[in-house]
Amino acid sequence: MSTEVMHSVNAGSRSKVRTMAQVGMLSAIAVVLMLFEVPLPFAPAFYEIDFSEVPVLVGCFAMGPAAGVAIEFLKILLNFAINGTATAGVGEIANFLIGCSLVVPAALIYKFKKTRTGAIVGMAAGTVFMTAVGCLLNAFVLLPTYAVAFGMPIDGLVQMGTAVNSAIDSLTTFVLFAVAPFNLLKGVLVSLIVFLIYKKISPVFKMNH
């Protein structure tokens, strides 16, 4: 094997190891960020915003959509291992899908247009997509699962929504006035933070690549 080929193989191996280390690091940061949740005035107490998608989106932009999905998966897996589950894993699967629905569209668009405009368009598209996916999964998967986990009918969850917003009087209005704004706000805040920090920290991810 020639020196050039060996050098190329070694460089490729180092790059893979570095990528795996970065995925692990960002996953760990995401798990820590999941611990800090902020309640919202327009949604029931079990809807709290966290910023764990920030390192996932950073990883997506730096290393591509596949790395972002890996970070999101590890984040959910680690949180599951540390905190367990009240929904037999259904909530965790739904949260994984909702998280991916934000970061994957953003990363795909940014991959083909690596400019500030590409990042903004990607994050806007991801936010809209996450809001839509979040609404569907909450209506048909998460809320019914939470109702079973908490031992109450869906109407009980709706009433928790009514307590903070009188316009919420059904599952549909719950999704429209609590779930949709929640996901929209989360997508906007996560995107804003990533927009502000990515340029400053991105050189770290490009070293030795």
Residue 65's CB is within 10 A of a number of other CB atoms, namely 19
Count up the domains in the chain and report the number.
1
Q: 197, 58 in Cβ contact below 8 A?
A: yes
Q: How far apart are the first and last CA of the chain?
A: 23
Domain that includes residue 109, residue range: 3-37+44-206
pTM over 0.85: yes
Q: What is the C-alpha radius of gyration for the chain, rounded to an integer number of angstroms?
A: 19
| 23 — pLDDT class (breaks 50, 70, 90) | very high
Give residue-wise pLDDT tens across range 60-69.
999 999 999 9
Inform me whether the pLDDT recorded for 12 exceeds 70.
no
pLDDT of residue 145: 86
Torsion sign, CA atoms 120, 63, 36, 156? positive
Whole-number Cα distances in Å, 46 to 49, 157, 197:
10, 10, 29
Give residue-wise pLDDT tens across range 60-108.
999 999 999 999 999 999 998 988 887 778 888 888 999 999 999 999 9
Inform me whether the pLDDT recorded for 10 exceeds 90.
no
* CATH number, domain with residue 108: 1.10.1760.20
Residue 124's CB is within 10 A of a number of other CB atoms, namely 16
Length of the chain: 209
